[in-house]
C-alpha cells in the first residue's frame, strides 16, 4: 500500500499499539450496543431489581473507554503522519538541492512546487481519516461478531452484502486513478499559468491581448482540472449511494429474508436488526473516507514518482552524494579538453550543442566571452562551472581530472551573477566577512545610502534592477571564491557605474587574486580583458581583434 509505505518509511509505526487501541475502541463501541440492547430488552426487570444505576455506570465507563482510546488513536496518528511528512519535506528539499540543473529543467518547477506543497498537505489531511477508517473497521468486526453470536445466518447474509458493496469501488478504481492523474497534470499547468501571471504581472498589465490569452489558457487548464475532478467525484458519489443502498438492502434482509432461512431467528431479530443499524455510522465513514484515501494514495504516488525521478540521476552518482563537499579555495589553472554538451531536444527542435571546447583559464586572468544571442555562451558557462554534466570531454583543475564524485566540491571554486540571477535577502553561506569589509564594499558599490547589512541580511531588496544587481555582485564579493562568473553583469548599469565595473571592480578583484570570466557585449571595454573569446554556433574560438597593448579593438 503506497500511502502506508510512504508514511512508515522514515518513522517506526507502533503497529501493535495502534491495533490494540483500535480493538479496545471498537470493542467498547460494540459493548455500548450490547448494553443498550440488553437494557432495552429487560427494561422492566432492571427497574424492578434496582439495577439501573449499575447499568448506567457500566454504560458511562464503556463510553469513556471508547472516547479515551479514540482520542489517543487520533492524536498518535496525527503525530506520526506529521513527523513522517516533516521527514519527506526535508528529504525532497534535499533531493532538489542535490539534483543537477539539467534534471531540474527536465522535471519542471511546477511539478516540484505542486508536490512539495499540495500533495504533502493532502497526505497530512489523511491522518485522522486513517484512524476513523481503522476504528470503523474494528467496530464493523466486533458488531459482526455480536450478530454472528446471535445468528450465524444473519451474519452470513450481512457479510455477503457488505462485501458486494465493497467490491463496487474496486471495479472502478482504474477509471478514478486515470482521472486523478489528469487532474494533477492540469493543476500543474494551472500553477504554470499562475506563475506567468504573477512573475510577468507588469507585462500582463501592459498588454490586454496577452492578459486575455493567458486568462484563456488558464481557464482551459482550469476546465480540464474541473472535468477530471467532477468525473472522479461523480464516480465516488455513485459508489457512495450504491453502498448505502447495499447497506439498506442488508438491513432489509435481516427482517425480510433471514427469517425465511432460519427457524431460531425470530427470538433475536430485534437485537440483530438494531446491531445492523448500528453499522450505518462506521460503514458511512469507510465509504465516505474512500475519496480522501484514494486522493491521498494518488498524492503519495506523485511524491514517490517525483522522488524516483530526482533520484534516478543521483543513484548513478551515489558516490558524489556521499562524498564530503570540500571547498576549493585556490587554483592555478583550469583546463577543458574536448568539453561537449547537447541540450535535451523536444520533438521537432533542432539539436543544439556546445563543443568540443579546449580551453585553459589561468589564475588572475580576466576573460571576456562575446557572441550572438543563442550562440551558446550561457550553456558553455554552465558546462565550465559543472552545472551541466559534460557528455564528452574532461575538466582538469591544476592538471588533475575532476571526476564526478568531486563535481560538487569543484563547483565551490565559482561564484556568479547570472543573467537570470536570484538575489537572496539573507547572505546564506557567508559568515566570515567583517562588518567593516561589508560597509566598505557597500560604499564602493555606491549602495551605502540605500542598503545596510544587518545580521547577515540586506535591510531591503526592494530596489531598482541595476541596484539589485549591485547587491548580487556584493554577495559574490563577500563570498570571495577564486573564480567570478558574470553573465552580462553591466547590461543594466548606468554608463558611469558600467565604467566603474570594468575599470575598478574587475581590476580590484584581479588584484585580490580572483579570476574573472565574463560574458559581455560592452565592446568599449574589450581591451581590459587578458583573453577574449567568441562563441559562434556553439563553437568557442579566440577573438583575435584584442590588442595586447590595451588599445580597444
DSSP SS3 for 49 = coil
Question: In which residue are the cell numbers 539534483 written?
Answer: 99
Picking from 262, 243, 241, the residue whose alpha carbon sits closest to that of residue 155 is: 262
CB of 378 to ligand ATP, least distance (A): 3
Q: What is the CB neighbour count within 10 angstroms for residue 97?
A: 7
DSSP SS3 for 484 = strand
The reply to whether 121 sits near ligand ATP by the rule CB under 6 A is: no
DSSP SS3 for 48 = helix
Binding to ligand ATP, residues 519-548 (CB under 6 A): 535
The reply to whether 460 sits near ligand ATP by the rule CB under 6 A is: no
CB of 348 to ligand ATP, least distance (A): 12
Picking from 231, 228, 225, the residue whose alpha carbon sits closest to that of residue 190 is: 225
Q: Which is nearer to ligand ATP, 102 or 452 (CB)?
A: 102
Q: With CB under 6 A as the contact rule, which of the stretches 130-138, 160-168, 229-237, 371-379 interacts with ligand ATP?
A: 371-379
Angle CA 93–96–99, to nearest 5: 150
Which H helix or E strand runs over 258? helix 258-261
> Contact with ligand ATP (CB under 6 A): which of 252, 374, 513, 552?
374
Q: How far is CA 380 from CA 184, 346, 411, in A?
A: 35, 20, 14
The reply to whether 378 sits near ligand ATP by the rule CB under 6 A is: yes
Beta sheet of 539-542, edge-to-edge order: 414-417, 483-487, 515-519, 366-371, 531-536, 539-542
Q: With CB under 6 A as the contact rule, which of the stretches 74-82, 135-143, 214-222, 375-383 interacts with ligand ATP?
A: 375-383
Q: Which is nearer to ligand ATP, 527 or 534 (CB)?
A: 534
Q: Which is nearer to ligand ATP, 291 or 355 (CB)?
A: 355
E strands of 28-98, at which residues?
none
The reply to whether 105 sits near ligand ATP by the rule CB under 6 A is: yes
The reply to whether 481 sits near ligand ATP by the rule CB under 6 A is: no
The reply to whether 335 sits near ligand ATP by the rule CB under 6 A is: no
Binding to ligand ATP, residues 379-418 (CB under 6 A): 379
CB of 470 to ligand ATP, least distance (A): 21
Mention every residue, 6+ apart, whose C-beta is less than 8 A from residue 196: 204, 214
> Contact with ligand ATP (CB under 6 A): which of 50, 324, 330, 373?
373
The reply to whether 172 sits near ligand ATP by the rule CB under 6 A is: no
Phi, psi of 160 (to 5 degrees): -60, -45
Compute how many residues bind ligand ATP; rule: CB under 6 A: 13
Q: Which is nearer to ligand ATP, 102 or 177 (CB)?
A: 102
The reply to whether 352 sits near ligand ATP by the rule CB under 6 A is: yes
E strands of 307-442, at which residues?
333-342, 353-362, 366-371, 392-397, 400-401, 414-417
The reply to whether 343 sits near ligand ATP by the rule CB under 6 A is: yes
Q: With CB under 6 A as the contact rule, which of the stretches 2-10, 139-147, 376-384, 385-393 interacts with ligand ATP?
A: 376-384
Binding site for ligand ATP (CB under 6 A): 105, 343-344, 352, 371, 373-379, 535
Amino acid at each position: 500500500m503506497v500511502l502506508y509505505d510512504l508514511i512508515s518509511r522514515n518513522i517506526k509505526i507502533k503497529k501493535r499499539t495502534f491495533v490494540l487501541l483500535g480493538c479496545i475502541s471498537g470493542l467498547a463501541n460494540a459493548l455500548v450496543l450490547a448494553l443498550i440492547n440488553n437494557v432495552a430488552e429487560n427494561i422492566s426487570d432492571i427497574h424492578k431489581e434496582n439495577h439501573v444505576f449499575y447499568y448506567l455506570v457500566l454504560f458511562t465507563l464503556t463510553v469513556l473507554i471508547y472516547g479515551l482510546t479514540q482520542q489517543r488513536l487520533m492524536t498518535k496518528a496525527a503525530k506520526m503522519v506529521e513527523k513522517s511528512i516533516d521527514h519527506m519535506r526535508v528529504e525532497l528539499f534535499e533531493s532538489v538541492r542535490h539534483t543537477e540543473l539539467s534534471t531540474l529543467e527536465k522535471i519542471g518547477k511546477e511539478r516540484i512546487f505542486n508536490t512539495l506543497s499540495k500533495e504533502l498537505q493532502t497526505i497530512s489531511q489523511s491522518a485522522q481519516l486513517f484512524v476513523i477508517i481503522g476504528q470503523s473497521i474494528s467496530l464493523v468486526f466486533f458488531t459482526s461478531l455480536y450478530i454472528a453470536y446471535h445468528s450465524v445466518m444473519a451474519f452470513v447474509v450481512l457479510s455477503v452484502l457488505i462485501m458486494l458493496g465493497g467490491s463496487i469501488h474496486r471495479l472502478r478504481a482504474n477509471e478514478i486513478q486515470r482521472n486523478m492523474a489528469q487532474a494533477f497534470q492540469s493543476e500543474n499547468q494551472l500553477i504554470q499559468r499562475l506563475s506567468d501571471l504573477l512573475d510577468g504581472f507588469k507585462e500582463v498589465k501592459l498588454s490586454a491581448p496577452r492578459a486575455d490569452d493567458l486568462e484563456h489558457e488558464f481557464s482551459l487548464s482550469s476546465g480540464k482540472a474541473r472535468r477530471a475532478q467532477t468525473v472522479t467525484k461523480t464516480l465516488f458519489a455513485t459508489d457512495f449511494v450504491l453502498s448505502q443502498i447495499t447497506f439498506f438492502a442488508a438491513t432489509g434482509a435481516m427482517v425480510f429474508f433471514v427469517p425465511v432461512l432460519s427457524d431460531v431467528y425470530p427470538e433475536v431479530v430485534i437485537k440483530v436488526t438494531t446491531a445492523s443499524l448500528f453499522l450505518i455510522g462506521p460503514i458511512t465513514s469507510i465509504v465516505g473516507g474512500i475519496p480522501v484515501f484514494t486522493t491521498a494514495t494518488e498524492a503519495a504516488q506523485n511524491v514517490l514518482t517525483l522522488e524516483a525521478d530526482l533520484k534516478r540521476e543521483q543513484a548513478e552518482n551515489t558516490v558524489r552524494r556521499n562524498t564530503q563537499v570540500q571547498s576549493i579555495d585556490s587554483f592555478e589553472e583550469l583546463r577543458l579538453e574536448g568539453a561537449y554538451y547537447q541540450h535535451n531536444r523536444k520533438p521537432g527542435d533542432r539539436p543544439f550543442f556546445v563543443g568540443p571546447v579546449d580551453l585553459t583559464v589561468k589564475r588572475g586572468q580576466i576573460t571576456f566571452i562575446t557572441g550572438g544571442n543563442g550562440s551558446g555562451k550561457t550553456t558553455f558557462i554552465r558546462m565550465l562551472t559543472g552545472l551541466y554534466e559534460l557528455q564528452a570531454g574532461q575538466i582538469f583543475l591544476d592538471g588533475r581530472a575532476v571526476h564526478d564524485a568531486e563535481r560538487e566540491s569543484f563547483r565551490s571554486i565559482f561564484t556568479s551573477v547570472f543573467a537570470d540571477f536570484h538575489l537572496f535577502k539573507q547572505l546564506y553561506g557567508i559568515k566570515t566577512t567583517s562588518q567593516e569589509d561589508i560597509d566598505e564594499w557597500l560604499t564602493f558599490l555606491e549602495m551605502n545610502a540605500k542598503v545596510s547589512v544587518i545580521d547577515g541580511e540586506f535591510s531591503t531588496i526592494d530596489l531598482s534592477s541595476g541596484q539589485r544587481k549591485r547587491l548580487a555582485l556584493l554577495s559574490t564579493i563577500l563570498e570571495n571564491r577564486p573564480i567570478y562568473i558574470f553573465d552580462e553583469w553591466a547590461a543594466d548599469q548606468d554608463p558611469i557605474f558600467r565604467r566603474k565595473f570594468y575599470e575598478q571592480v574587475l581590476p580590484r578583484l584581479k588584484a585580490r587574486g580572483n579570476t574573472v570570466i565574463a560574458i559581455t557585449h560592452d565592446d568599449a571595454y574589450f581591451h581590459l580583458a587578458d583573453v577574449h573569446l567568441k562563441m559562434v554556433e556553439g563553437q568557442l574560438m579566440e577573438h583575435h581583434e584584442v590588442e595586447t597593448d590595451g588599445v580597444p579593438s
